[in-house]
């Protein structure tokens, strides 16, 4: 590698030769470098900064790097039983709620990667993206819901149980669910009615939008009549689109890749309902959702996430004040997500009850 002082001398000699009439390529050839090398030095600040930017270069450890003791403590905490199956993002969120700060998420990733513990765990495949179908927007709970039905396998081959579920898009909370052994529109209509009563839809000014796919069950006359009676506006995706109901599909994916999901199927309807009850309780009250800054859906649905995120931000500011050299920029973004868009595609999204929060006059307890 050519040192910084030698680079400057070579650049000055080449510039003097060029001003005297020599061609740049020939001047560079005489001093033993390529013209592209000189261009990189000039474009990449190579004549003022003597650092080696090659990926394989050996670099000294910065003075503000984690000490060996701190790295060992970070690794110990990451290998605690409660964190053994969680990624770094959820670990730092839980530690922040406990009032502990060990290191940033990227430091967790670096330490775990150095010890071969940063590999993806689980059976899930990498997600694929494609153009989304329709657009709605929510700025508060009870403005935009999504619903769908998924199949739960039984131990008997060819038999299935049916999980009907309604998700609040803004808070990601499961606001209604039922498990049945048949796929009928009457089940979907009853679920919509129960969920609307539990969430106090009758007491708010603008009713929520209920988005679903083009399945026959959710477009049946029985369901449409119930939604009309509840004054809930139905919304449907384009046909033959694989990700037409992304929020609920993502939730089903989370459910079926949970360790307690029986790979051999459910013995009976009661077993399927018990599993659904446990999963919804975990999802709503324990699962720190990555899409809402790693708070639980219940905390966001009830409005408690603002204070939690404020405390996390204050904790990170204190951590940066104690050791500012470890922070090259701002602290982690713990700001509250104020607006959630379902399938953002159009220039002007459809407001799904944007003023519902102002018009809300009451709420029934579930």
**Cα(137)–Cα(288) distance, rounded to whole angstroms?**
22
Find the mean pLDDT for residues 343-347: 59
Q: Take residue 45 and report the two structure tokens written for it.
A: 């600040």
Tell me if residue 326 falls in helix, strand or coil.
Answer: helix
Number of residues in the chain = 366
Which 3 state secondary structure label does DSSP give 167? strand
CB 145, CB 210: distance < 8 Å: yes
Q: In which band, very low, low, confident or very high, does the pLDDT at 299 lie, cut at 50, 70 and 90? A: very high
Inform me whether the pLDDT recorded for 203 exceeds 60: yes
The mean pLDDT of 327-335, rounded to a whole number, is: 92
> What is the per-residue pLDDT for 106?
93
Q: Which of the 8 DSSP states describes residue 264?
A: T
How do residues 231-263 score in pLDDT, each as one tens digit?
A: 999 988 766 666 667 899 999 999 999 999 998
In whole angstroms, how far apart are CA 123 and each of 41, 233, 253?
A: 47, 37, 11
This prediction's pTM: 0.73
DSSP string, 62-117: PTTSPPHHHHHHHHHHHTSGGGTTS-HHHHHHHHHHTT-----HHHHHHHHHHTT-
Percent of the chain with pLDDT over 70: 83
Instruction: Note the pLDDT of residue 150.
Output: 96
- Cβ contact 223:192 at 8 Å: yes
- Per-residue pLDDT band at 119 (split at 50, 70, 90): confident
Q: What angle do CA 172, 175, 181 make, to 5 degrees?
A: 115
- The DSSP output letter for 289 is B
- Supply the mean pLDDT for the chain: 86
pLDDT of 174 reads 98
* pLDDT band for position 128 (cuts 50, 70, 90): low
Expressed in angstroms, the distance from the first to the final Cα of the chain is: 69
Q: Which pair of structure tokens corresponds to residue 298?
A: 């219940």
Q: What is the mean pLDDT of residues 98-109?
A: 94
Query: Reduced to 3 states, what is the DSSP secondary structure of residue 291?
Result: helix
CB-based burial of residue 129 (10 Å sphere; 0-12 exposed, 13-18 middle, 19+ buried)?
Answer: exposed
List, in order, residues 6 or more apart from 275 with CB less than 8 Å away: 152, 260, 261, 262, 266
Cβ atoms of 134 and 231 within 8 Å: the answer is: no
Query: Rounded distance, CA 287 to CA 257, Å?
Result: 14
Average pLDDT over residues 13-38: 88
**pLDDT-based confidence at residue 125 (cuts at 50, 70, 90):** low
| pLDDT at res. 130 | 55
At 266-275, the pLDDT tens digits run 999 999 999 9
pLDDT higher than threshold 90 for residue 142: yes
Residues forming beta bridges with residue 151, ordered by sequence position: 162
Is the pLDDT at 341 greater than 80, yes or no? yes
pLDDT surpasses 80 at 359:
no
- What angle, 0 to 180 degrees and rounded to 10, lies between the N-to-C axes of helices 4-19 and 24-31? 140
In angstroms, rounded to a whole number, what is the distance separating the alpha carbons of residues 248 and 201?
20
Q: pLDDT of 26-79, one tens digit each?
A: 898 888 888 888 888 777 666 766 655 666 666 677 888 899 999 999 999 999
Angle at 259 between CA 148 and CA 265, to 5 degrees: 65
For residue range 209-231, list pLDDT tens digits in order: 999 988 889 999 999 999 999 99
């Amino acid at each position: 590698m050519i040192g910084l002082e030698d680079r400057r001398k070579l650049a000055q000699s080449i510039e003097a030769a060029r001003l005297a009439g020599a061609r740049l390529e020939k001047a560079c050839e005489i001093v033993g470098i390529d013209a592209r090398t000189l261009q990189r030095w000039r474009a990449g600040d190579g004549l003022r900064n003597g650092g080696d930017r090659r990926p394989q270069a050996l670099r000294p450890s910065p003075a503000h790097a984690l000490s060996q003791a701190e790295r060992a403590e970070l690794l110990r905490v990451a290998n605690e039983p409660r964190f053994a199956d969680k990624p770094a993002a959820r670990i730092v969120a839980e530690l922040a709620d406990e009032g502990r700060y060990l290191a940033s998420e990227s430091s967790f990733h670096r330490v775990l990667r150095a010890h071969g513990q940063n590999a993806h765990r689980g059976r899930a495949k990498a997600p694929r993206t494609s153009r989304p179908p329709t657009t709605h927007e929510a700025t508060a709970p009870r403005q935009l819901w999504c619903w769908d039905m998924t199949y739960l396998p039984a131990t008997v081959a060819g038999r299935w149980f049916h999980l009907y579920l309604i998700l609040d898009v803004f808070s990601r909370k499961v606001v209604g669910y039922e498990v049945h052994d048949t796929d009928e529109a009457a089940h979907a209509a009853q679920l919509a009615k129960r969920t609307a009563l539990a969430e106090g839809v009758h007491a708010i000014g603008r009713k929520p939008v209920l988005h679903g796919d083009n399945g026959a069950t959710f477009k049946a006359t029985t369901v449409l009549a119930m939604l009309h009676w509840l004054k809930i506006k139905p919304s449907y995706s384009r046909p033959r689109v694989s990700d037409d109901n992304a929020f609920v599909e993502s939730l089903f994916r989370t459910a079926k890749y949970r360790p307690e999901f029986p790979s051999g199927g459910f013995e009976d309807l009661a077993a399927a309902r018990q599993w659904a009850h446990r999963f919804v309780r975990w999802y709503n009250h324990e699962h720190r959702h990555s899409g809402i800054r790693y708070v639980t859906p219940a905390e966001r649905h009830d409005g408690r996430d603002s204070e939690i995120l404020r405390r996390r931000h204050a904790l990170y500011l204190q951590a940066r004040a104690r050791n500012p050299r470890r922070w090259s920029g701002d602290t982690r973004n713990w700001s509250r997500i104020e607006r959630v868009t379902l399938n953002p595609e159009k220039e002007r999204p459809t407001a799904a009850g944007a003023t519902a929060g102002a018009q809300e006059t009451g709420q029934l307890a579930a």
